[in-house]
Amino acid sequence: MDPSGYAGPSEKTVKPLTPEALAAFKAAQEKAGVVYISRIPPGMRPTKVRHLMSAYGEVGRVYLQQEDAKRAYLRRKYTSTKKAHYTEGWVEFKDKRVARSVAEMLNAQPIGGKKGSRWRDDVWTMKYLPKFKWNMLTEQIAHEAAVHAAQLRVELSQSRKEQRDYLKNVELARVLGKRAERKRKNVGDGEAQDANDTVQRPQKVQRKVEDEGRAQVLPKEKRKKPKSDPNPDAEAQLSSVLGSIF
C-alpha cells in the first residue's frame, strides 16, 4: 500500500493482542463498512477526504490510489501541476450503516463548501461495498502490486531478449558485409586477370603464327638448288662456233 495515499491509524508493529482484544478487534472489523469513491477531484489529498467524510460519521482508514506513473509523468511534463493526483479511493467507516447511508446520500451530489472553494462544484461518485472489509483491500493491492512486478519482469526479460537479438543481427550483418566485400574484391581481381590473359593470348598466337611461317619459309630456301658452274665443254663449243663465223 502506498504510504502517500494512506490516512489512518499507524500500522507499526505492536505486541500480540490478548484473546479479549483480538475478539474486540474482529467485532470492530465486522461492524465497519467501506465506501468506494470512483473519482477523486483533482488536487484532493487523503487528509482532505478524511476531513470531509468525518463530517458524516466516524472514519477509520482512508486510502487513495495515485494515477498511473506514465500519466503522471506526462501531466508533470506538459502541465504546470506538479502535485500528485489520485484517481480512486476507499473510506472505512466504523459503522457499516453509516457508510451505507453516506454513500446513498452523497453519490452524484456536489461536494459543496464555502463560496470560492476549489472543489465546491465537483461531484461525488461513490458506492457502498457490502461485505467488503479493509483486509480485502490490502490483499487486492498486494495482488495488483505482485502482478505489476511480474509484468515488469516479463517486459524486462523481453527487452533483454530483443536487445540480444538486435546485437546478434548487427554482428551477423557485419560478418555478411565483410564476406560480400571480399567476394566483390575477388571478382574484381579475377576480371582483371582475365583481361590480362585476353591481351596476352593474341600476342602469343601471333608469335606462334610468325614462328610457324618462318619455319615454312626456311625449308623452301634450303630446297633451292644452288646454280651450277658453267660447263667447260660447252664454252669450248661456243668459242669454236663463233670462230667459224668470224
69: closest CA among 152, 157, 163, 153? 152
Whether 27 shows a pLDDT value over 90: the answer reads: no
Whether 11 shows a pLDDT value over 70: the answer reads: no
Q: How many domains does the chain have?
A: 2
Claim to verify: residue 82 and residue 196 sit in the same structural domain: no
State how far the alpha carbon of 3 is from the alpha carbons of 9, 11, 62, 138, in Å.
Answer: 12, 11, 11, 12
pTM greater than the 0.85 cutoff: no
Residue 212 lies in a domain: no
Mean pLDDT of the chain: 79
Claim to verify: residue 24 and residue 69 sit in the same structural domain: yes
Phi/psi region, residue 108 (left: phi>0; alpha: psi -120 to 50; beta: rest), is left
Which grid cell sits at 218? 626456311
pLDDT tens for residues 129-172?
A: 998 888 888 888 888 888 888 888 888 888 889 999 999 999 99
45: closest CA among 2, 10, 16? 2
Residue 242 lies in a domain: no
Contact at 8 Å (CB) between 49 and 89? yes
Claim to verify: residue 154 and residue 191 sit in the same structural domain: yes
* Mean pLDDT, rounded, for 8-20: 69
Contact at 8 Å (CB) between 24 and 94? no
Give the Cα separation of 40 and 87 in Å (integer).
5
Return the CATH number at 38: 3.30.70.330
Choice between 130 and 207, residue whose per-residue pLDDT is larger: 130
Claim to verify: residue 128 and residue 139 sit in the same structural domain: no
Q: Which domain holds residue 188?
A: 134-201
**What's the pLDDT score for residue 5?**
63
Claim to verify: residue 197 and residue 126 sit in the same structural domain: no
pLDDT tens for residues 121-140?
A: 899 999 999 988 888 888 88
Residue 246 lies in a domain: no
* Mean pLDDT, rounded, for 15-42: 85
